[in-house]
Amino acid sequence: MHSVPAAGAAPREDGQAARVVLLVLDSCGCGAADDAAAYGDAGADTLGHTAAAVGGLSLPTLEALGLGRVTALEGVAAVSQPSGAFGRLQPRGAGKDTTTGHWELAGLVLERPFRTFPSGFPSELIDAFVAATGRPVLGNKPASGTEIIEELGARQLATGAWIVYTSADSVFQLAAHESCIPLAELYAACETARRLCDPLQVGRVIARPYVGQPGSFVRTYNRHDYGMPPPGPTLLDTLSAAGVPVIGVGKIGDIFSGRGLSASLRTAGNRDGLAQTVAQLATLTRGLIFVNLIDFDALYGHRRDAVGFAAALRELDAALPALLAQVGPRDLLLITADHGNDPTYRGTDHTREQVPLLAYGPANAAGRELGLRGGFADVAATIAEALGVAAPAAGRSFWGELW
């Protein structure tokens, strides 16, 4: 077993943390949610099935933090004395998408799901988009992002038309080859689509640029999301109003429409996201760093690539010690997820799952069992208490169990 030392001392005497890092492992669910059957996801288990698919995982850092106490994973031991606290979060929000999950982690529980479009978008929307952007549209159907660019990419290169597609989530996705349609034009078109999609309650508009030749197209990290603004206050708003810095790393700025953020840092994948987080901890003295690590979902979950998903987990585990080394006795690191995306499951869409919860930093966190929490918003309530601001209406803090 790999040993991760406890951070070593209690938080400040006033019972508050100096810094909190909320690390969201995008789509790393740990077993079907109580209502998974209603979403068509009975039996889904992203982490468990990924480990089984590759004959077991070696994740010594996460093992030492207590991941094996959260869920049974082949190759990951349930250590008796983990260096962190551990538990699970049950989703409450109406949906299994990125936006719903992140908003709930920030204390805003979506009561009604975003609208989805299993037969494609209405002709009125497509016609308005074509008129506004001056380019015709290909696709307009639910599809895998990698499959639709292979199907329609050559036609796009020949005609200059947009590729529009959706999924089981509430998303208007716009794919464009970077040699055919400049990024600036793609982003402007997404802003147009965002305005047109607002009346239809579409959760996100997503720019999906790609490069390469037919048969070998590759999507790039120049993706950009255009979300609906949160319909109510979130933890980020509360922290911002109190003058507490909030730094978003990855697509956090897109998910919250920039609201409540002091800074928003774009990333080129998991490794870059972790490196930027470590760099921020070198200078930040107080505040929240809210991080999304996208590769699990974007590169492997939707593509049903369990081998790639497992490799990304091993890469994360190897990189975590550098982050843990920056977590001091007055800091709190929370590791969780926003939904599942079981790479062994049918289809190509997200799965409705519980998510892991690991907490590291305060000395009393070591070995603390946090149990199955009633909602993701417990994370927001805990961060609010740790940083000394008003808690959201939703959620129950576990900060008192950690120090």
357-393 residue pLDDT tens = 999 998 788 999 999 999 999 999 999 999 999 999 9
Q: Counting runs of H as helices and runs of E as strands, what totals does the chain give?
A: 13, 14
Q: What is the pLDDT along the chain (403 residues), one digit of tens a residue?
A: 455 554 433 444 567 899 999 999 999 999 999 999 999 999 999 999 999 999 999 999 999 999 999 999 999 999 999 999 999 999 999 999 999 999 999 999 999 999 999 999 999 999 999 999 999 999 999 999 999 999 999 999 999 999 999 998 899 999 999 999 999 999 999 999 999 999 999 999 999 999 999 999 999 999 999 999 999 999 999 999 999 999 999 999 999 999 999 999 999 999 999 999 999 999 999 999 999 999 999 999 999 999 999 999 999 999 999 999 999 989 999 999 999 999 999 999 999 999 999 999 987 889 999 999 999 999 999 999 999 999 999 999 999 999 7
For residue 4, the model assigns a pLDDT of 58
Place of tokens 């497992």: 310
Spell out the domain ranges in the chain.
19-111+228-401, 123-227
What is the distance between the alpha carbons of residues 388 and 397, in angstroms, rounded to a whole number?
A: 12
Q: Provide DSSP, 38-74.
A: GGT-TT--HHHHHHHHTT----HHHHHHTHHHHS-BT
CATH classification code of 123-227? 3.30.70.1250
Q: What single letter denotes the amino acid at residue 352?
A: R
Cβ density class 45-74: b for 16+ within 10 Å, e for less:
bbbbbbbbbbeebebbbbbbbbbbbbbebe
d(CA 321, CA 309): 20
Q: What's the pLDDT at 168?
A: 87
Spell out the residues 6+ positions from residue 199 whose beta carbon is closer than 8 angstroms to its own.
Answer: none
Nearest to 356 by CA among 1, 107, 6, 23: 23
**How far is it, in rounded angstroms, from Cα 38 to Cα 165?**
24
Task: State CA 35 to chain mean position distance.
Answer: 20
Of 17, 14, 50, nearest to 359 by C-alpha is 17
* Rounded Cα–Cα distance for residues 66 and 340 (Å): 19
For the four alpha carbons of 292, 294, 296 and 302, in that order, the dihedral sign comes to positive
| CATH fold for domain 19-111+228-401 | Alkaline Phosphatase, subunit A (3.40.720)
Phi and psi, residue 187, nearest 5°: -65, -40
Kind and range of the H or E run holding 190: helix 183-197
Degrees, nearest 5: CA angle 14-19-23: 135
